[in-house]
A = this chain, B = another copy of it.
């Protein structure tokens, strides 16, 4: 069996929850906290789990850069299907960690091979919505700066 890790040792370092929140803010600065709060309103335990396991345990691991991780996540969500909400969240996350729009569209187009055209076309619509939301937000910010 695997060695039992020292929880005492962990507690002297950053907690899983603190590390998860830090990763969540790095990848999803705009929407991360809102998503977690929305989950917490129904199930505080699932919200805590969402911060600690995906973000605290997995994304925080050192073996793969965040840009590569977002490529993997976008590919997975396109393939999974029926996860447009999560895909939109991670398209934005991909842009946040250094992917550009064309790279995201390349990943989506490549998924025609593995997940088929319907999944890729649905993902394209989701990506387009994110791109438009970002432009609308930028326009709104520019409008407010002018005022």
Contacts and interface: CB of A to CB of B under 8 A. Distances in A.
A133 interface: no
Given A8-B11, A11-B10, A39-B121, A61 B81 contact: no
B122 A37 contact: no
**Chain A binding surface, main DSSP class:** helix
B58 A113 contact: yes
Interface in A1-37: 1-2, 4-5, 7-8, 10-11, 15-18, 21, 33, 36-37
13 contacts: A1-B37, A39-B124, A42-B105, A46-B105, A49-B58, A61-B109, A68-B107, A72-B74, A75-B75, A76-B76, A77-B118, A82-B119, A114-B116
